[in-house]
């Protein structure tokens, strides 16, 4: 049954624009989120009836669903209509942790140690059934909320089956699916059981448009469809390279709290021969794909190969813990800390700490590091885009040389003006850091301007509207 408040634009994603915490006094405290989707959905204007369908992520969210039936108070959500789904915790855990984040994410980022994993047996099949149920809950909610001929934008690998399921329920809808991660090449994608690999592809091909962050990921998806299904059918393939929000970043980066963090960071970096030391900055979550450990090893190699940099440069590394409910992520975070401590023990001297490592999330401090960075190190193994690579040139005070992995999605747009590296090659990355540190000021300034222009070509609101307009324009 279609809702009485049928929407004309719908967004579906695992995480919504608001989350709830259950306080000790029994009251619910709402916290609004940010990001490209929030900015994008706000761009359609108040005259368009829109709704966001998302999942309850924790006990606070689930309690909000119990009290409201899942249709949230718009005062909490920034005047956005939100339908939050109270999916059973055990079903959600299997779908989100076991399948989406521990299988599909690993496939698309090509991170398996294949002599040992993956191993798809009965336990995985049970988890896959939960993934199907989770996707079905979204499809049914979207079918219920959508008006006749509405446009539905389904987000990411968590919801790969939704377009096909929704198409069966509501053939009148315009459906788009957007992948925020890389897409695996055919040979790696075929690690998945054959029937599940085909089910995933058919799920996305239930959409009128399947869109990606780069042409490379779009081509990989098309190749998988051709190999496993014969073709992509009637589904159109699109590319929308999400850019940085320049206006927000520049305004936020010059608030007082950021200025305070700059003073603190400058004190930690210190001076050499009466001048501020050079700063190599990285800002990442401790996701396995971010390649933080190899980045640290490359910095150690720089200090080994180029002793003239000892005492004259500091690696400011922000590694904010991610997915700590998974053991492999906890181990990786510990390894980042161990290697940073080793470098400090090996090279540190009075008045100079080679690595300044912070693991407590602090957005103002991240922006402060963006502004003062001489070199930005962005060396992921694979990334759908990597917005840090785009954000740093936008807010840099004095120009910043970008050392960028060729495996980041951002390479497609920024590679020409970055110092490009193979993320597995520690020696070459160390050499690239030296090149970036010694780049002439004028060249660094000009490169930063071009990087910033490319980085902001498709800001979040335009990125969202481009997808919506392309979907509505289909024959």
For the record, the structure tokens of 398 come out as 């004095």
Please tell me whether residue 53 adopts helix, strand or coil conformation.
strand
Share of the chain above pLDDT 90, in %: 85
CA distance 307 to 349: 13
| Span 337-370, pLDDT tens digits | 999 999 999 999 999 999 999 988 889 999 999 9
Q: Write phi, then psi, for 398 (nearest 5 degrees).
A: -125, 20
Q: Residue 199 has what pLDDT?
A: 98
For the record, the structure tokens of 37 come out as 């989707």
Encode 249-316 in three state secondary structure. Answer: HHHHCCCHHHHHHHHHHHHHHCEECCEECEEEEEEEECCHHHCHHHHHHHHHHHHHHCHHHCCCEEEE
Q: Residue 77 has what pLDDT?
A: 80
For the record, the structure tokens of 411 come out as 């390479």
For the record, the structure tokens of 283 come out as 């800002």
DSSP lists the bridge partners of residue 12 as 53, 154
What does the angle CA 456 – CA 314 – CA 451 come to, to the nearest 5 degrees? 15
Q: Residue 441 has what pLDDT?
A: 95
The confidence band for 321, taking pLDDT boundaries of 50, 70 and 90, is confident
The confidence band for 470, taking pLDDT boundaries of 50, 70 and 90, is very high
Q: What is the mean pLDDT of residues 3-13?
A: 85
Q: What is the pTM of this model?
A: 0.94
Q: Residue 314 has what pLDDT?
A: 98
- Using alpha carbons, select from 369, 269, 257, 254 the residue that is nearest to residue 320: 369
CA distance 58 to 54: 12
- Using alpha carbons, select from 404, 354, 350, 398 the residue that is nearest to residue 380: 404
Share of the chain above pLDDT 70, in %: 96
The confidence band for 36, taking pLDDT boundaries of 50, 70 and 90, is low
The confidence band for 63, taking pLDDT boundaries of 50, 70 and 90, is very high
Q: Residue 9 has what pLDDT?
A: 95
Does residue 148 carry a pLDDT above 70?
Answer: yes
| Span 408-429, pLDDT tens digits | 999 999 999 999 999 999 999 9
Q: Find the helix packing angle between 292-305 and 426-437, rounded to 10°.
A: 70
CA-CA-CA-CA dihedral for 99, 338, 306, 272, to nearest 10: 120
Per-range mean pLDDT, top range of 3-7, 72-76, 407-411: 407-411
| Span 93-107, pLDDT tens digits | 999 999 999 999 999
């Amino acid at each position: 049954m279609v809702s009485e408040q049928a929407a004309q634009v719908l967004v579906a994603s695992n995480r919504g624009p608001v989350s709830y915490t259950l306080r000790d006094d029994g009251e619910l405290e709402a916290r609004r989120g940010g990001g490209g989707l929030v900015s994008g959905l706000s761009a359609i204007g108040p005259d368009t009836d829109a709704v966001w369908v998302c999942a309850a992520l924790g006990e606070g969210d689930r309690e909000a669903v119990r009290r409201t039936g899942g249709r949230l108070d718009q005062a909490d959500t920034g005047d956005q209509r939100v339908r939050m789904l109270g999916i059973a915790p055990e079903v959600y855990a299997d779908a989100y942790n076991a399948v989406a984040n521990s299988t599909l994410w690993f496939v698309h980022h090509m991170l398996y140690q294949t002599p040992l994993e993956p191993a798809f047996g009965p336990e995985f099949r049970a988890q896959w059934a939960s993934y199907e149920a989770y996707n079905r809950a979204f499809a049914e909610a979207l079918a219920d909320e959508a008006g006749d001929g509405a446009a539905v934008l389904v987000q990411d690998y968590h919801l790969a089956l939704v377009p096909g399921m929704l198409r069966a329920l509501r053939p009148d809808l315009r459906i788009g699916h957007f992948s925020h991660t890389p897409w695996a090449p055919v040979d790696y994608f075929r690690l998945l059981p054959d029937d599940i690999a085909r089910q995933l592809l058919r799920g996305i091909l239930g959409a009128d448009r399947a869109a990606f962050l780069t042409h490379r990921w779009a081509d990989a998806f098309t190749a998988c469809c051709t190999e496993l299904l014969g073709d992509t059918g009637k589904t159109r393939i699109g590319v929308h390279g999400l850019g940085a929000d320049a206006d927000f970043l520049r305004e936020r980066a010059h608030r007082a709290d950021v200025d305070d963090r700059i003073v603190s960071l400058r004190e930690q970096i210190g001076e050499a021969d009466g001048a501020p030391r050079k700063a190599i900055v990285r800002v990442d979550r401790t996701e396995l794909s971010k390649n933080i450990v190899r980045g640290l090893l490359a910095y150690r190699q720089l200090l080994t190969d180029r002793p003239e940099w000892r005492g004259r440069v500091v690696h400011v590394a922000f590694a904010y813990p991610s997915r700590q409910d998974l053991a492999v992520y906890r181990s990786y975070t510990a390894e980042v800390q161990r290697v940073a401590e080793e470098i400090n023990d090996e090279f540190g001297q009075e008045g100079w700490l080679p690595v300044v490592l912070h693991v407590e999330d602090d957005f103002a401090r991240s922006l402060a590091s963006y502004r003062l960075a001489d070199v930005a190190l962005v060396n992921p193994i694979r990334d759908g885009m990597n917005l840090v690579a785009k954000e740093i040139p936008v807010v840099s005070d004095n120009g910043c040389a970008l050392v960028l992995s060729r495996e980041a999605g951002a390479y497609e747009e920024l590679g020409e003006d970055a110092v490009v590296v193979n993320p597995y090659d520690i020696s070459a990355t160390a050499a690239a850091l030296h090149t970036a540190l010694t780049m002439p000021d004028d060249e660094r300034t000009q490169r930063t301007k071009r990087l910033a222009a490319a980085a902001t070509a498709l800001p979040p609101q335009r990125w969202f509207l481009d997808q919506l307009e392309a979907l509505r324009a289909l024959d």
